[in-house]
Amino acid sequence: MSNPFDAGFPDDLPADAAAPIADFRDTPEGFRSGFVSFVGRPNTGKSTLTNALVGQKIAITADQPETTRHPIRGIVHRDDCQIVVVDTPGLHRPRTLLGERLNEVVKDTYADVDVIGLTIPADEKIGPGDRWILENVRKVAPKTPIIGIVTKLDKASKDQVGAQLLALHALLSEDNPDAVVIPVSATEKIQIDELVGVLAEALPEGPKFYPDDHVTDDATEKRISELIREAALAGLKDELPHSVAVEVDEMLPSQTREGVLDIHAIMYLERPGQKRIIEGKDGMRFRRTVGNARKEIIKLLGQNVYLDLRIKVLKNWQSDPKSLGRLGF
């Protein structure tokens, strides 16, 4: 399939890894399954795309780059396939020890998956950073099929999307003249089913890895800590977002309120000045963070919760091996 439009182009674009394996008898003949990971510069829509494919929020999103901190597996269920999407941190040139460790995790993930999707936004030209990422992916996974995905259709004109499809196809064709590219919009749910079909076609025949009602294997505590971090990142800019880490300390049924779950969590920052930013004037920003996080946690758990969130300064934790180990990196 050498034509970059063969994977499907919408007729009317907007203007502007271990799990229990099910018995082969549980799957129909020709059923396909496997692991897929998206690669791209930070903020190219990988986590949003993962959520759209899975059908619910399993990965947090934010306006800042490098939001994702650990691989998250989301399961896409269809009658003819089961796709395990492994959402990873963006591959980037590291500036801290944390960045170096995240890059190693990402490279290990790419070496193990069955298909890799290279994400390029429709409204941003392909640049040296994209080529650097592709070169690194090919080094760690030289035989893994790479599918080109033009994201964020809702932010570009049809002409821009067409030009980007051609440019991405040209880039991937340097090693594979039959490269497949496909345009999608995760936020507007455009071409999501078509993308599932393209990914499934590249996967081997195999069994289901997860039960039909399974959407992720991420621990509940980890999902809660990520929701808190997402609420804290809202509206932040510059370097501060990279300095925020959250850890759930304890989850217990309330002793005084029936049906309420008490969640105690700690937000770690690197410097005292960052604490003042997180708190905001008269603590208003911090209270808003707690309130927004609590709403998302209630949606996740389906029950009322009380969120006790404390702030601690862990000096330069992104570059301290002991602190990184303590926080699970």
| 152 is an annotated ligand-binding site residue | yes
Q: Is 47 annotated as a binding residue?
A: yes
43 annotated as belonging to a binding site for a ligand: yes
CA distances from 188 to 38, 88, 154, 160 (A): 19, 22, 7, 17
Q: Record the tokens describing residue 189, joined without a space.
A: 């749910």
Residue 27 is assigned to a ligand binding site:
no
Q: Around Cβ 270, how many Cβ atoms within 10 Å?
A: 22
Any residues with CB less than 8 A from the CB of 219 and at least 6 apart, and which? none
Is residue 124 within 8 Å of residue 47, measured between CB atoms? no
- Residue 40 in marked binding region: yes
AA letter at 326? R
Q: Is 151 annotated as ligand-binding?
A: yes
Is 154 labeled as ligand-binding? Answer: yes
Closest residue by Cα to residue 83 from 33, 30, 20, 22:
33
State the CB neighbour count (10 A cutoff) for residue 154.
16
Rounded to a whole number of angstroms, the distance between the first and last alpha carbons of the chain is 41
Q: Is 88 annotated as a binding residue?
A: yes
Asked if residue 89 belongs to a known ligand binding site, the reply is: yes
Residues 6+ apart with CB under 8 A from 209: 19, 20, 21, 22, 33, 75, 82, 84
Residues in the annotated binding site for GTP: 40-47, 87-91, 151-154
Binding residue numbers: 40-47, 87-91, 151-154
